[in-house]
Copies of this chain bind each other. A is one copy, B any other.
Amino acid sequence: MATLWSKRYAQRTGRVSSSTIRELLKLTEKGDVISFAGGLPAPEVFPVAEFQTACHKVLEEMGPKALQYGTTEGYRPLREMIVRHMARYKINVSVDNVLITAGSQQALDLIGKLLINPGDRLLVEEPTYLGALQAFNMYQAEYVTVPIDDDGLRTDLLEEALRAGPKFMYILPNFQNPGGVTLSLSRRMELIALAERYGVPIIEDDPYGQLRYEGEHIKPLVVLDSERPGCDDGGRYSGNVIYLSTFSKTLAPGLRLGWVVAPEEVISKLVQLKQGTDLHTSTFTQIVAYEVARGGFLDKHVRKIRQVYRERRDVMLAALERYFPPGVRWTHPQGGLFLWVTLPEWVNTTQILPHAIEEKVAYVPGTDFFASGGGYNTMRLNFSNARPEMIEEGIRRLGRVLATQLEAEKQVA
């Protein structure tokens, strides 16, 4: 049906394409496909009983307030809880530095709206979170990319990229999506020093920070920046790093609750932008999440999630060793939800995907995570969603598919 609309689309929409992840999710929703494609938490660990209790209490004690319009900044007790939570990680901010968003994804959209003029360059990791590229693309960003390796962002290549004059850097230091790698402490310090030298601020995206399965916690960039020698208030929030996190991986993604930590002046601008975007985040989900999380429950629950996901990661790593053909490498994530697979350079994972789905197993081809193209021989695997026996079976299937494809392509070559 021809309508008056399609010839009226704005220029910015020229760069919209449907997300491979989302289309795949649809494709593999039904039937017996074992999907490592999504980024879904394990639904069986959601604290359903605690949500029951919280919903009942909230509606009983403050039903009308929970169902009414709320402030754009977010539910104050929840923001105060976030302040206390972050103080334990030495992120020392006040409630006026915190804005509640509809998941971290909305924080990325609002940051794009606040900061990006068409043609502005952003410095991003290669590969990086696809959803961030989708958010920033809508504001017609351009990219300068810096590759990652097993220790995260290649800081030895950072200075050259900074000379391109990026407006800000977008960095995922912990168990990066999609790479699964963690930025080492020494590289974090190098990154902070270079950011200072070139005057380029940082968006630190940390959805998975609490989900560490081995090794020691490494200070977030926001903390390291506040501790740098030039910073007068040593240890107090310096404001050159905006920090994002979410309840999606620790409580439940269906709530759509994330948060931004930023200087007050930035928060107040973001609040104005959010007013025009959706007025505010659901009062009801905010108050219910506060009731579920408070009183130490969230900590207890995160310990449980860590246990479940660590086991799944280990099962996947062991299965990869067992079933994947030679010549294939993968990362060893210390936390988070994903690991990253690199095949021989002449292999194209997008072309292999239909064969995989035929064998009832799915993954995400890596190329979409590359802001400047490339990465055709890579894929992302999620290990949080499927149960251990499914992971084992899925990797077995995928190993078989890859072996067949590698063999076939070798013969053509």
Question: Chain A interface (Cβ within 8 Å of chain B)?
Answer: 1, 3-6, 8-13, 16-19, 22, 25-26, 38-41, 43-44, 46, 48, 51-52, 55-56, 59-60, 63-72, 102-103, 105-106, 108-109, 113-117, 120, 131, 134-135, 137-139, 167-168, 199-201, 238-240, 242, 248, 252-256, 262-266, 268-269, 272-273, 275-285
Contact = CB atoms under 8 A, between A and B. Distances in A.
B115 A8 contact: yes
Contacts of A263: 1, 3, 5
A51 B38 contact: no
A280 B19 CA distance: 13
B106 A4 contact: no
B109 A10 contact: no
A67 B252 contact: yes
B105 A277 contact: yes
A207 to B, nearest CB: 12
A10 B269 CA distance: 11
Instruction: Give how many copies assemble into the complex.
Output: 2
Nearest to A232: B1
A116 B70 contact: no
A276 B105 contact: yes
A130 to B, nearest CB: 10
23 contacts: A1-B263, A1-B265, A3-B239, A3-B263, A4-B200, A5-B266, A12-B113, A13-B269, A17-B272, A19-B275, A25-B71, A44-B64, A46-B68, A55-B56, A55-B59, A69-B253, A102-B278, A103-B278, A105-B278, A109-B276, A256-B278, A256-B280, A277-B277
A162 to B, nearest CB: 13
Closest 3 CB pairs of A and B: A43-B64, A48-B63, A254-B283
A8 B201 contact: yes
Given A67-B253, A67-B255, A266-B3, A16 B273 contact: yes
B10 A116 contact: yes
Nearest to A233: B1
Given A43-B65, A254-B69, A276 B138 contact: yes
Interface centre among A25, A70, A137, A283 (most CB of B within 10 A): A283
Nearest to A287: B254
Contacts of A167: 8
Contact of A51 (B19, B67, B262, B283): B67
Contacts of A41: 68
Interface centre among A67, A135, A248 (most CB of B within 10 A): A67
